[in-house]
Every structure is written in C-alpha cells, then in structure tokens.
Structure 1
C-alpha cells in the first residue's frame, strides 16, 4: 500500500490530503498507518523529516469527533518549536473537519491564558510534558476522554528529563487509550517506556535514510574552528546552514566570530527570551539569516525544508545526538551534506559514530592558511509589522498592501509569520526599502501600521 487514497480515512481527511498534494506515502507512513488506523499501539523508529508527523496526525485525527466533549488526543513533544510545528500540521490535515480545535500548551509563557482557554477544552492538545503536567495539577486539563496519546521524539524527551512527567500524565489517562511512540533513535529507555505504557505495540523500524547525506570529517583544533567553518561555508556558499555547538558559550563565540567575518549569522541557545528566540527562528526559516548557530536542545523542532548543510563545531557526545544533527539535512530524499570538526581530544567520540556508519569516518584536509570567500548576503530581508493575529491581521492582508499598482510583484514576497501582536514578512533584499515605504505610507487592512527592518 503506497497511496493515501487506499487508507480507510474519512472524506474530510482524504480531501485535505488531496488539497495538500499528499498522494504517495513515505516509508514510515506506509508502515505505521495501517496498524495505527486499526487501533494498534505502535512504536516507530524513523528519523526527523521522514513524514512521521503526518502519519500519527492522520491516525489521531481519524479518531477525533469534533462534536464530542473533552480532550480526545494528546501529543507530547520535547520543545515548544516542535509542538508548534506539529500543531500546524494537524490543523492542515484537519482543515476540513468541522469545529476542530487544536491547542498548544508549552512552558515559557504565562500559565493564565492556558487556564482560560481550557474552559472550553480542545479536541486535540499538543504540548511539552512540563506544562501539560502543570495544567493537570491545576485541575484545568483532564484526560478522561482521551482516545490517543502520542509521544513524539520520545528519545529527546527522555534525554531532557521528562520521564517522570510523562509517567504522571499517562498515569491519569484511560487505560484503553491508543499510545503511539515515535523516536529517531531507540535507546534502552524507549523500550522501558513502551513496555510500561503500551499494549503489545507493533514495532516499526524504517531504514535510516542517512545514505542520502554525505558526511565529511575534518581534524581541527578549537582555536581554529571558527576559521575552518568560515572557509567551508565560504567555499560551499549554501543559502542556509545550521551549525551545532556543544555549549551555549561556544554558540555565542562562534556566532560573533562568523558575524565579524561578514556572515549573516544568528545564535540560538537557552539564554534567549521567547521573543528573541521566535525572531531568530523566523529569520532562519524565511531566508533572511544564512547561518544559524545553536545548541542541540535549542535546535529541537527546527524544520527547515531543503536545508543543504549541517555543521558540527564540535563532535557530538554520542552517536544518537550525531544522528539527530545530521538528520536536519537530506530530507525527503534530497541530498544533504554534514560536516564535522573533530579536535584531537574528541577522537574517541568517533568510534560509535563509525559503528553507526558501518565504516571508518572519512577525514578530509582543510587549508587554514587560505582566506575565506566573501559571504553573500541573504536573499531576503525581514520586516516587522506591529500588528498580528489579535488585530485580525492575516497574511493575505499584508500581500494585498504590498502589491497592486506601483507595488511589489508577488514573487518578491517570501514567508509571512503571524504572531498575536506582530507579523514578520520576508522581502527580497533589493525590494525591502520599497516595501517599507509602501507599508509606512499606505494602509494595511484600512489602517496605518508601524513597520521596521529586523536585523
């Protein structure tokens, strides 16, 4: 079975799939959807970007009755970014289901709005274990009507210390629920989690697609790593690259060094407040930032389609983390390139990675005496409009204000990201000032707005 049309899905879900041009299933979808739609518990091992969100999304939506009361499906994720991504996909898949309410509950924001929204419980809840447990402790979130529980990126949740929170949450859910567990790797803790909370789960392992990713290793000592990365990125000139560091300090130092060398680089780590974090991710996703430097935890949930290059500033502490890193590129059958800088003291870490590769790591030389090529500026520039969803400002309103007689061509407008009080719009760099002038002197949805360049 390879086509979604062959699955026992509702007309609303099949129509939504057709409108999204989802026809052929990915390997993880083809393997996991039949048992999930049959009501079986499933433990699936598949790398990030393999289509797992649509797989469990269709399974849980097929069991949702928007007319019924209570929370019917719950998806637990390790980070807010992944939770937001999952919720967006569920809303896309369920766009034709009447009155479907999908809510996201994650930490880092005040609890009060979440408590207020649960006065009318959604059919589907997506969130991080800490905030979900907090809402349950407050008595605001009940799982009496739960039909499906999903643990997404379960290995990362265990790594982040969420085991007790997960146990507390599932311990209050009906015993006859369906439990779906998705993980990119399968450490011992995942097996224990499945044994505790699942009923005779079907185990599905999708062959690692990392063969589409070319891996290169370079011997570079710490004092020259920034120089090496500048050279590599200068030679490759990718439109975007994600660079992983092992510590927050390394992230900031490397980001500063790349900026000094002319790269449009931004840092992503745990010391950023939520607004700064949102803006970094928006700029990387819309092409107005070329290089994102991040810690592993901070980068969880980042899903950039067509990301061509991933770089490890320092080798990951174990093979599973390395697998997660390189899984950010080479998605959906596209080729990817993963580069790793390895200091002498890190050489012992290469052994489990080589075992995972099934061959010796191929080390290449890099001439650090060369000067790096001058980096090209990003193709896009981000503008910030000080109005958002609470002002009922929609992407179509922004496009309408920018186009028309004397305005921009639609092709000059990139991604538009709406937040409650602000909207970010990517504009071709050569057209950014024209867009600024048009928004400042004209009207957006019939009123004047404040607008500024970001970065």
Structure 2
C-alpha cells in the first residue's frame, strides 16, 4: 500500500511526497480510511508510529477552505508537542491554498494568538488550558468543529487535564467526530471514550520497533543548578567530537549554546524561530566540521539527516518516547555505534520513567573532575586494544627500553602524548 491508494486529494499526496513519505506506516494504513469515513476512533500506537499524519491527512481532506472558522481541534499535553503537530499538519497541507493552522499554548503572548484567531483558522492545535483561555475570552468558538483529536490522551489525563478536556468536548457539536490517540489505554481514557465517543473503532498497533542495540544509552541524575556543569563534564569525559544536544525550548537552546561558546566549545544553535537561511548556514557549518556541537530544539531538528554524530545528549528530558527515539536515532547511522545521554533532574523523573520503560537505559554518575583524565585515557586505550599486527611496534618499544624508561613508562608517555593532541 502507498499514499496513492487513499481517497485523498492530489495536493495532499504531493505534499506527503515532498515530506519524503511514500508508504504509510501501519497506524496510518489502518486509521486514515476509518477517519475519512467520519467514525470515532481509539488508536493505540507506540514509538515512532507516525500517528500525527494518521489524523492530519483525513482531517485536511475533509476541510472546507472557504469557511475560515475552526473545523478541527487537536489537543496536546505540551506546547512542544503542539508546535510539532501544527508543523506537521502545515507540511501535509502545504499545497492547499489559504489553509490556516494555528498552535495555541501557554508561554506565548495571547494577543498574537488572538489576532490570528480573529482572522480565521481552519485547524487549532492547542494545550487544554490555553484553548479554554481563548474560549472564555470569546476568541475561539467551537460550534463549527467537526473533528476533535486527543493526541497523547493518556499523558494529558495523567497530567490532570481531564476536567479541561471534558469542558472542551462539551463545547463542541454532538455530531462531531472524536479521535483518541494514546500509547496506553488506562481507565481514564476508557471513561472519556464511553462518555464522549459514539461506538468507536479500536485500532492497536503492536510496536516491533526497538532502539538499536548499537546505541549505548545512559542517564545521569543531577540537580537543576548543576545541569550545565554536568553537561560540560560529560562532553569532556567522553571526548565528544561531533554531537547533537537537544533542548525542549528555544530559551534552553539559546542558554546552552551561549554558555558553551563562553567556554570555547565549537558550538552553534538551531531553533524554530530562525529563518531558513540562518538554519542552512548553521547546518553547513556542522556538516563541514566548522563546529562540532549543535544545540537544537525538536522542531528545528525534524527531518535533519546528519552522518557521523557520535553522541546525542538530551539536556532536557524529551516530552515522550517518540521524541526520545527520534532524538537518539541521530547517532549510530549507517551501521556505526553511538552514545545517547540524558540529563535528568527531579521534576523530570516522572516523564523520564515513562521513557525508560520502553528503552534500555543504564544509570551512570556524572564524572567528577578528578575522574575525567582517567576516563579520557581509557577511551583511547579501548581503541588501542583493538589494534592488530603489532610485532614491528613491539620491537621498536623493546629497542627503546633502558634504565630510564621501561616499556610501561613508554606506553604511558605515548598515551599522554595522544591525550594532549
């Protein structure tokens, strides 16, 4: 099956092709035809399933563009996910003239969102709290909504958004289509389904996708005040040559990049507010080796294909397992091995525990300054131990042994020389 098999417009097919997709994932293959039929759906899908396109494609197909009032609303647990989902819907609808998609979430001036809503929006993607805020200010009328999508439903309910979700659902027409996408189906998700869905079809996609065994994954507990210091120690101790550092927000990206530059690391930043020209310039510097560390947000890093990334570091714990897999998959390309580090402080533990359930992540201690020299030396020794055909070099070492320098001391001197390069 490919996307041409779906009963969707050529504009959407072309946009999906431009995104680099030809064949639908299992969740897309099962969900898209059902959503196009306007039935209610509960879709359980795990890591990297492609669920955003599973609802974005049929929602876009059903839009009536001349009507500039909200026809679909997607609820997400976090602002980062809001931005990602809105971005993917826009990309899938990039060939649809006059399409308007808006992400509404806290942390952004409400006035800007209000102005866009007043002009007219076809699809709203928002966190429950900010959606209700706009409803109460009479900026957002859901009377014309035909489809409501609860993305990461289990996570939203776990975060305490049930009351908000129910208020939003109660404010939409009864004949709406209600879609729930969730990694797990706990009791609260089933309760919402019983009250607000009409004979929903249940789709479950078993996850066969595992994180590649060639990626060694570690996590490090740290105090929020010591997070940046922990980052620099990891970069130093593991002799990071070419790395991607992921942050959850533009503010965090700028902070980490700015302070790494102050400490003379060859680094630059990539985030969603940069122009395409600025992004291209940074990426060229990274690919050409002019910088070896790239600090990026998830939105900015979507679609990046970079070879030879040795280490991925999660400075902030990702919002969900899909994002975690997406991030760490930037290393260990083309059969190579790679490292993935995640820094975790107390407030991030619940979120990280959910990620840890699906991945083989080993706990490590952030190395103390006194341990770093030994760790860096061990990295070299581990590579050296793979060497073969050493007879000629053994002869040279033996020839240079004397009362002043034993073979052990010569080896130590060579190791020191390599470390100081």
Distance 2:165 2:272 in 1: 26
1:178 CA drift (Å): 1.5
Q: Cα distance 1:171–1:328, how it changes in 2: closer, same or farther (>3 A)? A: same
Q: Cα distance 1:355–1:100, how it changes in 2: closer, same or farther (>3 A)? A: closer
Please give the residue correspondences for 1:255-334 in structure 2 after superposition, counting only pairs within 5 Å: 262-263=264-265, 278=273, 290=293, 292=295, 303-304=301-302, 305-306=304-305, 309-311=311-313, 323=321, 326-330=324-328
Distance 1:263 1:122 in 2: 43
Distance 1:139 1:354 in 2: 41
> CA contact under 8 A between 2:312 and 2:330: conserved in structure 1?
no
Q: How many positions carry a matched residue from both structures?
A: 349
Does structure 1 residue 211 correspond to structure 2 residue 214?
A: no
Across the aligned residues of Structure 1 and Structure 2, the Cα RMSD in angstroms comes to 4.9
Q: Cα distance 1:338–1:16, how it changes in 2: closer, same or farther (>3 A)? A: same
Higher relative CO (Cα under 8 Å, sequence separation at least 6) belongs to: 2
Map of 1:150 onto structure 2: 149
1:172 CA drift (Å): 0.5
SS in 2 for 1:146: coil
1:255 CA drift (Å): 8.0
SS in 2 for 1:75: strand
Q: Tell me the alpha carbon deviations over residues 244-281 of structure 1, each in whole angstroms, 9 at most, x when there is no partner.
A: 9xxx99x999889866654356999xxxxxxx9957xx
Q: Cα distance 1:289–1:152, how it changes in 2: closer, same or farther (>3 A)? A: farther
Q: Cα distance 1:184–1:302, how it changes in 2: closer, same or farther (>3 A)? A: farther
Q: Tell me the alpha carbon deviations over residues 180-227 of structure 1, each in whole angstroms, 9 at most, x when there is no partner.
A: 222345555444443443332423234152333634347889899556
SS in 1 for 2:180: strand
Map of 1:241 onto structure 2: 245
* Structure with the larger helix share: 2
Map of 2:135 onto structure 1: 136
Distance 1:68 1:90 in 2: 18
Question: Can you give the 5+ residue segments of structure 1 that lack an aligned partner in the other structure?
Answer: 269-275, 294-298, 374-455
Q: Tell me the alpha carbon deviations over residues 299-332 of structure 1, each in whole angstroms, 9 at most, x when there is no partner.
A: 7867543485444679x8xxx9784563233559
After TM superposition, the score normalised by the length of structure 2 is 0.64
Question: Bigger radius of gyration, 1 or 2?
Answer: 2
> CA contact under 8 A between 1:76 and 1:152: conserved in structure 2?
yes
Map of 2:391 onto structure 1: none
Distance 2:116 2:221 in 1: 52
Please give the residue correspondences for 1:435-454 in structure 2 after superposition, counting only pairs within 5 Å: none
Distance 2:149 2:170 in 1: 14
1:86 CA drift (Å): 2.4
1:58 CA drift (Å): 0.2
> CA contact under 8 A between 2:46 and 2:205: conserved in structure 1?
no
